[in-house]
Amino acid sequence: MGRAFDRLEHDVTELTPTHLRADILRHLTFTLGKDADHASLYDWRMALSFAIRDRIVEPWFASTRKTWETGHKRVYYLSMEFLIGRLLEDATINLGLRDIAESAMAELGQDFRAIVEDEPDAALGNGGLGRLAACFMESMATVGCPAYGYGIRYEHGLFRQRFESGRQVETPEDWLSQRHPWEFERPESAYTIGFKGEIITRDGREVWQPGETVLAEAYDTPVIGWEGKWANTLRLWGAKPTTQFDLERFNRGDYAAAAEPEALARTLSRVLYPDDTTYQGKELRLKQEFFLTSAALQDILRRHLAGGYAVADLPRHVAIQMNDTHPAIAGPELMRLLMDEHGMEFDPAMEVARACLGYTNHTLLPEALERWATYTFGNVLPRHMQIVERIDSWHRRTFHPPHYVGIVKHHEVRMGELAFIMAHKVNGVSALHSDLVKQNLFPELEKLHPRIINETNGVTPRRWLKMCNRPLAGLITDTIGAGWEADLDRLKELEPHVADAGFLTAFGAAKRQNKQALAGWMQAHCGVSVSADALFDVQVKRIHEYKRQLLNILETIARWHDIRQNPEKDWVPRVKIFGGKAAPGYVVAKEIIHLINDVAAVVNADPLVGDRLKVVYPPNYNVSLAERLIPAADLSEQISTAGKEASGTGNMKFMMNGAPTIGTLDGANVEILQEVGADNFFLFGLTAEEVVKRRANPDHARDAILASQSLQDVLQMIAEGRFSEGDPSRYHQLVHRVWHHDYFLVAADFDAYRAAQAEVDTAYADRMRWLRMAALNTARSGFFSSDRTIRGYMADVWSVEPAL
Ligand code: 26V
């Protein structure tokens, strides 16, 4: 095994369960101060985590040292979200220690699975964008791209979801209430972050004198790549007060006031904003964005100068990626640091900043595009407001864009335009999405400065296949040999085997094993018993109108109705599985959740239907639940209104795990279809262009409903209160919206969706045909490894070579 480091004390290749057991016991005793006889599951988890962490530290140092010594260019990935999930099992897998860890724990009388599942998810993200950042961190470590991820160490990640009478209830998430064994606190790496205040003149230059300050303190988590060959750092910032505790006030008895600055500072990293649907313009959110960005940029400049390089040389050593516009204040902040702190003039500073910055767009939805009122922006960041205006007027003077194009418009700062102008490359996240970014989002700017490229998303096959699907991963290794994990195109070698009934049967057995495990889990956790022979049809993602969970549940009702009408027919049994959270203020999404749970209650209790249809909605969908559901899925639901889903990444995980897609021509579905072939994909629905045309007809929903007896029946049943204990008012609004305000064209696509679902039934009934389709999905999923995506960014955006 080729290694990038040579000073290994802990050589993982020579580690035996007995060695590891000794390390675990040492940590149990000396790190945790516990006696093995009295250790809890938590204690054992900590002891194992520390023993594993020890094995990461040396490759981590070796990687860092090598980057310093060679002056290699580094990537800085700035993201308000990192949706990491659990780390223990992932670390053991990448170190090649998974089975050794399991044996070591068994020798100690502990169940590895139980220990792994005791770890809380690090849920520092909302959904796709945050999970992508986590996959990218793992892939950058795997391909040996020197990188830092920069984010916020939220005390509370995404809320926990419960259902009360079918309605979503949120409770705070509390991952740091237990010790987090993966991070290293770095009190010595702290930066002052300013807000508000005024602009003063110093030596004839305008500089900022902040009115408020907080401290950003670093917490580092090593991120280890496949086979432990390289490790990078995820650096999360925690907020602390800059002022000392006010002892004088405290002594005067003013206890609460004495703690005020502390409370104020800490709110900055207290909680993740749980709304990924609408931009709200809240001052605290802007402060969080600046807190992350300023801390990161100060850290980047400090490291650059410590390497002995000139400020003007920054682009040779530094590539900064903005994950959506959330850190787009990086443009003006970098300009401020270059000009106000390092004495550069505006023009050369612009050159340097633009050569460093890249911007990834993740959404076209107008309500999610960030725009800050100039009033808020100027109040919180007065110097940045000046700089933004200077950039805007420079841009106007130099390039003469149409009058309606610009950064500051109608008393708002548009972060998309700002990010575009400050970046040398702008990218979308799937082929279709990148085209739409060009055509619809930035057509004028792209004409003036062509810079939009595509980098289709990907997912890490270590977590999303090797780790979460042991039966299938084992079969793959048995069939094509080891090494596919970091060379996913090798899955193509499975293709010749789909002609072999023995291989297909083994493929089916692996899937069946996962389904059986999920059925047991759902019985225990949701109280629903399902047959593992039924088709597991899964839609898991944030609840959003454009993702059309509503279309899925309407089809479920139609199916239920059909089964009741024709109970003698030979139905293919189905389990409809839903998972996902709604933003707390998203009323319509919450109504959809309620309806799904209401339908589940009626359908699951219907003796006429029995095993032919079940609906299960496990609460609190998160990374760990995804790892349980996706390997057990037969069918992947990717049914967004065409033109709305930027890419999707869940779609790729299902494909890898051998679940064919039922889906629209949206986001990366387009590329999935292209890779897997039309015979192995259930395509339906209007295209992005047709969607736009159809909306021009104000009666599109009414026309579609009147043309579909089935949809009329479904809407009628809901309206009558069949799923709301006879109460017709509960879903009055929802039904009204389908008839009159169906912006996402649920009605227009309903019949096509139903027809595609009927094709799914037919295909599934032919067991060998289905297994062939499923296996081909896995075999052709190599393109969707995030290693491929990262190599694309390295070549097209960052100009970084792998260091391995
Ligand atoms: C948006 C907003 C709006 C402003 C307030 C806070 C906030 C927080 C998060 C977001 C994220 C919206 C963008 C997003 O998650 N996009 C998803 O990105 C995935 C990765 O590229 C992609 O696969 C999904 O299709 C896309 O919806």
DSSP for 688-711 reads HHHHHHHHTSTTHHHHHHHT-HHH
Can you name the residues that pair with 368 across neighbouring β-strands?
none
Structure tokens at 347: 């023009």
What's the rounded Cα separation, in Å, for the pair 27 and 751? 60
pLDDT, one tens digit per residue, over 104-125 is: 999 999 999 999 999 999 999 9
Candidates 81, 282, 362: which one to mutate for ligand 1, based on the most atoms within 8 Å of Cβ? Answer: 362
> Ligand 1: residues within 6 Å at CB?
126-129, 132, 273, 275-276, 279, 324, 362-363, 368, 370, 429, 457, 645-649, 667
Q: Which residues 6+ apart lie within 8 Å of 645 measured at CB?
A: 546, 547, 638, 666, 667, 669
Please give the distance, rounded to the nearest whole angstrom, from the Cα atom of residue 130 to the centre of ligand 1.
8
Candidates 324, 414, 544: which one to mutate for ligand 1, based on the most atoms within 8 Å of Cβ? Answer: 324
What's the rounded Cα separation, in Å, for the pair 220 and 232? 10
Asked if pLDDT for residue 670 goes beyond 60, the answer is: yes
Nearest CA to ligand 1 atom 16: 362
Asked if pLDDT for residue 3 goes beyond 50, the answer is: no
Q: Quote the pLDDT of residue 237.
A: 98
Phi, psi angles (nearest 5°) of residue 223? -120, 115
Give residue 12's pLDDT band: very low, low, confident or very high (50, 70, 90).
low
Please give the distance, rounded to the nearest whole angstrom, from the Cα atom of residue 667 to the centre of ligand 1.
13
Q: Quote the pLDDT of residue 7.
A: 45
Asked if pLDDT for residue 9 goes beyond 60, the answer is: no
Please give the distance, rounded to the nearest whole angstrom, from the Cα atom of residue 125 to the centre of ligand 1.
10
- Residues 117-137: what's their mean pLDDT? 98
Q: Quote the pLDDT of residue 2.
A: 37
pLDDT, one tens digit per residue, over 48-95 is: 999 999 999 999 999 999 999 999 999 999 999 999 999 999 999 999
Please give the distance, rounded to the nearest whole angstrom, from the Cα atom of residue 731 to the centre of ligand 1.
28
Please give the distance, rounded to the nearest whole angstrom, from the Cα atom of residue 275 to the centre of ligand 1.
10
Nearest CA to ligand 1 atom 6: 276
- Residues 137-157: what's their mean pLDDT? 98
Question: Tokens 């959740």 identify what position?
Answer: 593
pLDDT, one tens digit per residue, over 745-796 is: 999 999 999 999 999 999 999 999 999 999 999 999 999 999 999 999 999 9
Sheet with 425-428, edge to edge strand ranges: 184-195, 212-224, 231-241, 147-152, 74-78, 318-323, 357-360, 425-428, 452-454
Q: Which atom of ligand 1 has the smallest separation from the CA of 646?
A: 25
Q: Which atom of ligand 1 has the smallest separation from the CA of 324?
A: 13
Nearest CA to ligand 1 atom 4: 279
DSSP for 356-406 reads HEEEE-----GGGS-EEEHHHHHHH-HHHHHHHHHHHHHHHHHH---TT-S
| Whether the Cβ atoms of residue 538 and residue 577 lie closer than 8 Å to each other | yes
Nearest CA to ligand 1 atom 1: 276
Asked if pLDDT for residue 4 goes beyond 50, the answer is: no
C-alpha dist (Å) from residue 23 to 34, 206, 544: 14, 57, 47
Rounded to the nearest 5 percent, the helix, strand and coil shares of the chain are 55, 15, 30
- For residue 361, which of 436, 282, 295, 303 has the smallest C-alpha distance? 436
Nearest CA to ligand 1 atom 10: 276
Give me the active site residues, please: 362, 541-542, 547, 649, 653
Domains of the chain: residue spans and CATH: 1-70+92-119 (no CATH), 71-85+121-456+790-798 (3.40.50.2000), 461-783 (3.40.50.2000)
Helix, strand or coil, per DSSP, at residue 645 = coil
pLDDT, one tens digit per residue, over 342-396 is: 999 999 999 999 999 999 999 999 999 999 999 999 999 999 999 999 999 999 9
pLDDT, one tens digit per residue, over 574-618 is: 999 999 999 999 999 999 999 999 999 999 999 999 999 999 999
Average pLDDT of the residues of the chain: 96
Give residue 729's pLDDT band: very low, low, confident or very high (50, 70, 90).
very high
Phi, psi angles (nearest 5°) of residue 651? -50, -40
Q: Which atom of ligand 1 has the smallest separation from the CA of 126?
A: 9
* DSSP 8-state class, residue 567: T
pLDDT, one tens digit per residue, over 682-695 is: 999 999 999 999 99
Please give the distance, rounded to the nearest whole angstrom, from the Cα atom of residue 324 to the centre of ligand 1.
8
Q: Quote the pLDDT of residue 10.
A: 57
Nearest CA to ligand 1 atom 18: 129
